[in-house]
Structure 1
Amino acid sequence: MRLLRVGPRGQERPAALDDAGLLRELSSVADEVDAGFLADPVALSAVRHALGSGTLPEVAAGTRVGPPIARPGKVVGIGLNYRDHAVEAGLALPAEPVVFLKPASGITGPYDDIELPPGSVATDHEVELGVVLGRRLRHCADPAAALAAVAGYVAADDVTERDLLAAGPTWTRGKCCDTFTPLGPWLVTADEVPDPQGLTLELWINGELRQSGSTKTMAFGVAELLCAVSALMTLEPGDVVLTGTPGGVAAGRPEPKPYLRPGDVVELEVAGLGRQRNEVVAP
């Protein structure tokens, strides 16, 4: 299934795309696309049945699409997980995953604006595969069990302010700003993504292709990442794990580095997970 949330910010309601590509309201069969829903196989089955019936009302044209999951408990980021990105950063591939946290307050919709923080001169883009948990995962050492805990996958942009990140002492300063985690448009359930290591990722700025990669070149694959993160913290249903970005970010390009500026349009796509379009705006 391809699950969405539609409506004004803070008033989103659940929706899904049917087999014909029509956007259908789910409010009659689901209260939200959240942790409780994703962890409930009965609720998921009910939505599948309702979608197949063809009786759900269509979402009105022009309705805003919000983030596809409501209120995730945490967003876990992974750094330097692609060789070409490590090379452009002038760093060696890590011996184990680099883990950081992003606040859920930074999540925004797939077509919402990206707002630069005050004084920003080095805000950068990072197209990523996002993994959404559907089961609790703690101290998992079995890759198959880790993948079985996945509810679905989303396209994501791990927007980063490089100067704030470099100022330290942790990466959080450069990752935590409002609107710095566009997600969606869809949460695609795991049964429709049989191999998360076979997805292409692309990102364009003002129509120019800047990033192009494949999840097959990750240093640590999805299952390995989930095992590693679950050894550090318990992953709960609804949590999001961002799995790193391929090369091509602005920070890795020659001077003057093409960081994001007001008026830029960021578009990205992860194969099978839909396409985002975000305009960059001033604070």
Structure 2
Amino acid sequence: MKLLRVGPRGREKPGILDAGGVIRDVSDLVDDWDGLALDDAVLKQIRTIDLSSLPKLDPNARIGPCVADVGKFICIGLNYADHAAETGAEVPSEPVLFFKATSAICGPNDDLEIPRRSEKTDWEIELGVVIGKAAKYVSEEDALDHVAGYCVVHDVSERGFQLEGTGQWVKGKSADTFGPIGPWLVTRDEVEDPQNLSMWLDVNGEAMQRGSTSTMIFGVAHLVSYVSQFMSLQPGDILSTGTPPGVGLSMSPPKYLRAGDTVALGIEGLGLQVQRCRDAL
């Protein structure tokens, strides 16, 4: 299933995309696509419903973040061998963890704000893993049983804030609008192999990132298991799994986003995002 949320910011309704591409209103079935609704039993029940019997939602309405009330937004750095090579970094011996503030989360097509004092706002397409069942000390063999589904994440980064001062990467990762997610949460049963998905990102129509989840250093199952050894993962948490090569930081000379730029990105089977950049007010 393709789960999404539609409507003005803060007033989104839960929806589901039917086989004909029509957005159906499921607000009589679930309050929202949050951790409670992502339980396997709830999703199993929804699969038995004739979606054509549900009301339609406005196809032209804003698409919001595909998950509501995200508790943790956990990210993995340097998780693609070809991306590590382009940055000159050593391949990490274990996953590199950092957090994005959940206040960075926005809809997939909302404007992307260039922060005040920013000179190095960069792009990163990533596969997002959405937790559906609490995970604590889970094995790699059982890890995918705790996944509700997958989505496109744009891990926008301000490289000066991230790398040139003191402190942690979170400063360069957490500005408002730096975490577009969606358009859909595609449930686990519809993604045959999360380690074989093509991904791409363009800026102003120019190809920047082209890659595949097949070049991940640490795969999805390993990451879910690994993170669960240090903290419990709760339903609705998002794990963003790293980016393939082609980020602006690694170009010669580096390229960064400016107000007026348009970023388009997508992952095979998981949908498309398009953001217009503007200066933060």
Contact 2:40 2:148 in 1 (8 A): no
Q: Determine the structure 1 residue equivalent to 2:231.
A: 233
Distance of 2:86 and 2:184 partners within structure 1 = 30
| Matched residue count | 279
Query: For residue 49 of structure 1, what is the aligned residue in structure 2?
Result: 48
Q: Could you tell me which residue of structure 2 aligns to residue 145 of structure 1?
A: 142
Q: Does 1:162 align with 2:154?
A: no
Match of 2:69 in 1: 71
Give the deviation of 1:40 after TM superposition. Answer: 5.0
Distance 1:40 1:150 in 2: 9
Which residue in the other structure is 2:58 paired with?
60
By how many angstroms is 1:253 displaced? 0.2
Q: Give the SS at the match of 1:143.
A: coil
Aligned equivalents of 2:231 and 2:29: distance in 1?
Answer: 33
* 1:282 matched to 2:279: yes
Supply the AA of the counterpart residue of 2:225.
C
Deviation at residue 53 of structure 1 after TM alignment = 4.4
The aligned amino acid for 2:156 is V
Q: Is the 8 A contact 1:29 1:46 kept in 2?
A: no
Confirm or deny: 8 A CA contact 1:17 1:24 kept in the other structure.
Answer: yes
Say whether residues 1:3 and 2:36 are aligned partners.
no
Displacement, 1:245? 0.1
Aligned twin of 1:180? 178
* Residue 38 in structure 1 maps to residue 38 in structure 2: yes
Alpha-carbon distance change, 143 to 263 in structure 1, aligned in 2, over 3 angstroms = same
CA contact (8 A) 2:3 2:17 kept: yes
Q: Is the 8 A contact 1:3 1:186 kept in 2?
A: yes
Q: d(CA) in 2 for partners of 1:14 and 1:46?
A: 16
CA contact (8 A) 2:22 2:59 kept: no
- Letter in structure 1 aligned against 2:271: G
The separation in 1 between residues aligned to 2:186 and 2:153, in whole angstroms, is: 13
Are 1:84 and 1:247, in contact at CA under 8 Å, matched by a contact in 2?
Answer: yes
Q: Match for residue 262 of structure 2? A: 265
SS in structure 2 at match of 1:233: coil
Alpha-carbon spacing, 1:53–1:127, altered in 2? closer, same or farther (3 Å): closer
| Equivalent position SS for 1:37 | coil
Give, in angstroms, the shift of residue 278 of structure 1: 0.6
TM-score, structure 1 as length reference:
0.96
**Matching residue of 1:25:** 25
Q: How far did 1:58 drift?
A: 1.2
The two structures, once aligned, show a CA RMSD in angstroms of 1.0
Q: Distance in 2 between matches of 1:168 and 1:177?
A: 17
Please list the CA deviations of residues 15-38 of structure 1 after superposition, one character each: whole Å capped at 9, or x if unmatched: 010011111111121111000011
Distance 2:140 2:45 in 1: 29
Say whether the 8 Å CA contact 1:131–1:152 is kept in structure 2. yes
Residues 83, 62 of structure 1: CA spacing in aligned structure 2 closer, same or farther, 3 A cutoff?
same
Give the whole-Å Cα distance in 2 for the aligned partners of 1:258 and 1:193. 33
1:221 corresponds to: 219
Amino acid at match of 1:252: S
Q: Show structure 2 runs of 5+ residues with no match.
A: none
Q: What CA distance in whole angstroms lies between the structure 1 residues aligned with 2:58 and 2:36?
A: 27
